[in-house]
């Protein structure tokens, strides 16, 4: 299916107009080359958020590749927000450096036109797949197979959100209120603004498996599974409470319990979920 999507007829491709928003000309030229090599039309390269908004209004591109960290008064996030507010219904793919020290603010939470996120340096095949995938969401082409996203955003402050890499997550725990949850990393924890069940539905990554009504785990960090005791042991703890865990709400709350040393309980349904996800023997 993906091969079919990436090999659209030249006529079909040429009808798709792409706006590139990037203020570094070498990166912009590289992206333009990749886009055109895959048969799409680049209608413009905007070097500022203001210019992107004006071009989007005038030319109505089919998709926008938007660098987040634009110079000037209007960055990529604000430009995407203003384009979204004008109801142009244009899918927008964010481009950014994942190691940037700049905190990503309001990165798409309230703008359903933000359909994807690519990290630099740009990988040509990944860019081609991302463009095809996001055009398929608004077009009549069959969608390609789902490609798991390797990050999600959590709130780090009142007006700030930061990306969390899937590989860094150990597990999730409900927060006890029934309205939210915690995502637990090796040395930090962050609140989720939704229940654990809702989060797993909106971010169905194959690495995340719900093993208990209060817990979901990243299966890539499992050390072993004790089926007799109905427990999961993690690689990164081994019965040692690390100094940097002492101020984490999760570990303070569970200090007298098994969970602090890397042991997560498994329910009957959780065992079935693990078996299905990992092809475990019965």
**Under CATH, domain 157-278 is a member of which superfamily?**
LytTr DNA-binding domain (2.40.50.1020)
Which residue is listed with tokens 């004790």?
A: 226
CATH class (in words) of the domain with range 2-138:
alpha beta
Q: What is the pTM of this model?
A: 0.47
Per-residue pLDDT tens digits for 214-259? 889 988 888 777 766 677 766 655 433 444 455 555 554 554 444 4
Predicted confidence (pLDDT) per residue in 113-139, tens digit: 566 788 888 888 889 888 988 887 765
**Location of each CATH 2.40.50.1020 domain in the chain:** 157-278
pLDDT at position 275, please? 82
- Cα separation of 184 and 203, whole Å? 16
Q: Tell me if 264 sits within 8 A of 171, measured CB to CB.
A: yes
Closest among 34, 12, 33, 14 to 127, alpha carbons compared: 34
CA distance linking residue 27 with residue 5, whole number of Å: 26
Residues of the chain with pLDDT under 70: 1-14, 87-88, 98-115, 138-148, 158, 176, 227-229, 233-262, 280-282
Location of each CATH 3.40.50.2300 domain in the chain = 2-138
């Amino acid at each position: 299916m993906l091969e079919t999507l990436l090999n659209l007829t030249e006529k079909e491709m040429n009808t798709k107009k792409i706006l590139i928003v990037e203020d570094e000309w070498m990166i912009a030229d590289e992206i333009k080359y990749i886009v055109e090599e895959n048969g799409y039309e680049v209608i413009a390269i905007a070097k500022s958020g203001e210019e992107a908004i004006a071009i989007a209004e005038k030319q109505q591109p089919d998709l926008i590749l938007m660098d987040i960290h634009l110079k000037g008064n209007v960055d990529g996030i604000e430009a995407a927000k203003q384009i979204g507010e004008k109801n142009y219904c244009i899918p927008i793919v964010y481009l950014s450096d994942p190691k940037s020290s700049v905190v990503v603010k309001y990165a798409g939470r309230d703008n359903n036109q933000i359909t994807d996120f690519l990290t630099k340096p740009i990988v040509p095949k990944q860019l081609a797949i991302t463009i095809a995938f996001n055009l398929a969401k608004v077009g009549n082409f069959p969608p390609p197979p789902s490609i798991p996203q390797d990050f999600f955003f959590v709130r780090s402050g009142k007006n700030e959100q930061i990306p969390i890499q899937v590989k860094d997550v150990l597990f999730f725990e409900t927060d006890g209120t029934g309205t939210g949850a915690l995502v637990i990393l090796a040395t930090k924890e962050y609140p989720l603004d939704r229940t654990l069940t809702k989060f797993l539905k909106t971010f169905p990554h194959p690495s995340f498996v719900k093993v208990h009504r209060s817990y979901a785990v990243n299966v890539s960090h499992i050390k072993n599974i004790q089926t007799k005791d109905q427990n999961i042991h993690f690689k990164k703890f081994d019965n040692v409470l690390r100094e940097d865990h002492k101020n984490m709400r999760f570990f303070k709350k569970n200090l007298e319990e098994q969970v602090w040393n890397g042991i997560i309980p498994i329910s009957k349904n959780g065992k079935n979920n693990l078996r299905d996800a990992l092809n475990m023997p019965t």
